[in-house]
């Protein structure tokens, strides 16, 4: 009901005005190119396999980007679609099923719509079928002006592998689309090659496979390396088409690619035991914000996909105080260092809570549950607010939604 919406809103409270910070509006007016990097986990960054770099392009890019090194995916069964939901709505996905399917006719007040209201042309680009994850229906509610799907790409046997169009070809053709868009634009590019089961043609292997009993883990590294190469191609193409200087390019990992089924071989690779603590850490994905001409910096605060939207709007200098969201601007100094995963696990500066156990962040050793206790109530509340907003379609009562 409307009352419930007001109650939740009152409890979330209005966000602080952060327009006085130096970071406010530093990317104002730029095109925004957001890359969903399929199954990209953070452990491959600045790491090697068989002595070879796995993400040479990203490793270089990070040095002149804002890199959030402790950023978590918060997805559940809806995988890539959950990641999109989090990034665009700053709400949690559901604990079961995919909100992209179950609540695709709800009212949202999503990032593409807000950007659109601020003069942006908004689109999503993906070399797969438009109905995958129900995107073609959900995107209408999220406010995208245009969805480029497999019908907008030249796809043949030569240029595809596994799930479809190879990432390098996808990037080349996508920049073709970007070059025809009205500016400024907000474009969401969804990669595909680094998808389970990580199939790759011999000619696209820039590095060799890992050697363990897990075929999945072995094959993961060359496809990550291939995706990394596709990002290099993206940047080259953007520069060629004069789209680089006036854009900001953001890369994020959507969810994990290597599940707990591969813990034994993962443990060999990482040379450490995969405890529930380490398994939680492995849910970190990269978030890299590249603003051409601006200095890089590494930000270590714990954060998650839910925090992306207020952070982006802050950089664009778009006011976000009055929105019904559960994430926090990552440039805010008052922000509580807490990230909640969809299964109720959480991470703070000092502790990690998962599977009903509390671990010291510093040592990774299980500690007294009382250290995690103070956060539990808030964690439960946040997840339940999000659920109630989705199940009750409560954003239809959002007055901001109608003012815009």
Contact between 190 and ligand GP9 per CB under 6 A = yes
Distance CA 34, CA 256 (A): 18
Contact between 169 and ligand GP9 per CB under 6 A = no
Please say which residue, 43 or 132, places its beta carbon nearer to ligand GP9: 132
Q: What are the backbone angles phi and psi of residue 389, rounded to the nearest 5°?
A: -60, -45
Distance CA 182, CA 205 (A): 36
Figure out which of the listed residues 128, 174, 247, 329 binds ligand GP9, where binding follows CB under 6 A. Answer: 128
Please say which residue, 38 or 281, places its beta carbon nearer to ligand GP9: 38
Figure out which of the listed residues 16, 25, 118, 132 binds ligand GP9, where binding follows CB under 6 A. Answer: 132
Helices 308-316, 79-89: axis angle to 10 degrees equals 40
Contact between 80 and ligand GP9 per CB under 6 A = yes
Strands of 294-364, DSSP E: 297-299, 303-304, 338-340, 346-348, 351-354, 357-360
- Determine how β-strand 346-348 pairs with β-strand 338-340: antiparallel
Stretch that binds ligand GP9, among 87-95, 124-132, 236-244, 275-283 (CB under 6 A): 124-132
Q: Is 255 annotated as a binding residue?
A: yes
Q: How far is the CB of 126 from ligand GP9 (least distance, A)?
A: 6
**b/e 380-400 (16+ beta carbons within 10 angstroms → b):** eebbebbbebbebebbebbee
Q: Is 82 annotated as a binding residue?
A: no
Instruction: Enter the tokens of residue 287.
Output: 């978030």
**b/e 220-258 (16+ beta carbons within 10 angstroms → b):** bbbbbbbbbbbbbbbbebbeeeebbeebbbbbbbbbbbb
Please say which residue, 80 or 280, places its beta carbon nearer to ligand GP9: 80
Query: Which residue number has the CB closest to ligand GP9?
Result: 79
CB 139 within 8 A of CB 117: no
Give every CB contact of residue 373 below 8 A, 6+ residues apart in sequence: none
Strand partners, 346: 340, 353
Figure out which of the listed residues 30, 79, 166, 169 binds ligand GP9, where binding follows CB under 6 A. Answer: 79
Please say which residue, 166 or 195, places its beta carbon nearer to ligand GP9: 195
CB 351 within 8 A of CB 360: yes
Q: Is 254 annotated as a binding residue?
A: yes
Q: How far is the CB of 73 from ligand GP9 (least distance, A)?
A: 11
Distance CA 265, CA 211 (A): 9
With CB under 6 A as the rule, give the number of residues binding ligand GP9: 8
Q: Would you call 230 a catalytic residue per the annotation?
A: no
Contact between 309 and ligand GP9 per CB under 6 A = no
Contact between 101 and ligand GP9 per CB under 6 A = no
Contact between 195 and ligand GP9 per CB under 6 A = yes
Q: Is 290 annotated as a binding residue?
A: no
Under rule CB under 6 A, which residues in 1-60 are in contact with ligand GP9? Answer: 38
Nearest to 233 by CA among 246, 249, 214: 249
Stretch that binds ligand GP9, among 9-17, 125-133, 165-173, 272-280 (CB under 6 A): 125-133
Q: What's the CA dihedral at 239, 71, 75, 6 to 10 degrees?
A: -100
| Active-site option among 6, 19, 23, 80 | 80
Q: How far is the CB of 38 from ligand GP9 (least distance, A)?
A: 6
Please say which residue, 79 or 169, places its beta carbon nearer to ligand GP9: 79
Please say which residue, 190 or 338, places its beta carbon nearer to ligand GP9: 190
Cis peptide before 184 (omega within 30 of 0): yes
Distance CA 165, CA 219 (A): 18
Please say which residue, 184 or 304, places its beta carbon nearer to ligand GP9: 304
Contact between 73 and ligand GP9 per CB under 6 A = no
Under rule CB under 6 A, which residues in 367-396 are in contact with ligand GP9? Answer: none
Q: How far is the CB of 11 from ligand GP9 (least distance, A)?
A: 32
Active site residue ranges:
80
Q: Which residues are annotated as a binding site?
A: 38, 195, 254-255
Q: Which residues are annotated as a binding site for substrate?
A: 195
Q: Which residues are annotated as a binding site for Mn(2+)?
A: 38, 254-255
Q: Which residues bind ligand GP9 (CB under 6 A)?
A: 38, 79-80, 126, 128, 132, 190, 195
């Amino acid at each position: 009901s409307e009352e419930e919406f007001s109650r939740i809103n009152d409890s979330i409270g209005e966000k602080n005005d952060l327009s006085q910070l130096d970071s406010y509006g530093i990317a104002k007016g730029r095109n925004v190119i957001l890359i969903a990097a399929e199954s990209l986990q953070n452990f491959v960054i600045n790491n090697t396999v068989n002595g070879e770099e796995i993400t040479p392009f990203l490793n270089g890019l990070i040095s002149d980007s804002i890199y959030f090194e402790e950023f978590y995916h918060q997805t559940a069964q809806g995988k890539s679609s959950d990641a999109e939901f989090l990034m665009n709505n700053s709400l949690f996905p559901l604990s079961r099923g995919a909100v992209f399917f179950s609540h695709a006719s709800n009212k949202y007040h999503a990032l593409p719509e807000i950007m659109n209201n601020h003069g942006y042309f908004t689109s999503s680009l993906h070399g797969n079928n438009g109905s995958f994850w129900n995107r073609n229906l959900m995107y209408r509610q999220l406010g995208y002006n245009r969805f480029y799907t497999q019908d907008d790409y030249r796809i043949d046997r030569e240029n595809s592998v596994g799930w479809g169009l190879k990432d390098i070809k996808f990037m080349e053709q996508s920049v073709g689309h970007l070059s025809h868009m009205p500016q400024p634009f907000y474009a969401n590019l969804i990669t595909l090659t680094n998808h389970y089961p990580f199939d790759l043609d011999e000619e696209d292997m820039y590095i060799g496979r890992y050697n363990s009993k897990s075929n999945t883990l072995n094959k993961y590294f060359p496809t990550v390396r291939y995706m990394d190469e596709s990002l290099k191609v993206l940047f080259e193409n953007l520069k060629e088409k004069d789209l680089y200087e006036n854009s900001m390019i953001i890369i994020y990992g959507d969810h994990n690619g290597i599940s707990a089924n591969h813990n034994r071989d993962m443990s060999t690779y990482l040379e450490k035991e995969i405890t529930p603590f380490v398994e939680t850490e492995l849910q970190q994905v990269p978030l890299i914000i590249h603003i051409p001409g601006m200095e890089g910096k590494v930000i270590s605060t714990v954060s998650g996909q839910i925090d992306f939207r207020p952070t982006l709007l802050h950089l664009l200098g778009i006011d976000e105080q009055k929105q019904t969201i559960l994430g926090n601007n990552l440039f805010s100094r008052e922000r509580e260092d807490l990230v909640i995963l969809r299964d109720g696990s959480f991470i703070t500066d000092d502790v990690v809570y998962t599977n009903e156990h509390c671990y010291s962040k510093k040592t990774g050793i299980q500690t007294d549950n009382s250290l995690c206790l103070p956060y539990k109530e808030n964690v439960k509340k946040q997840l339940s607010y999000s659920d109630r907003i989705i199940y009750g379609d409560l954003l239809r009562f959002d007055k901001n939604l109608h003012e815009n």
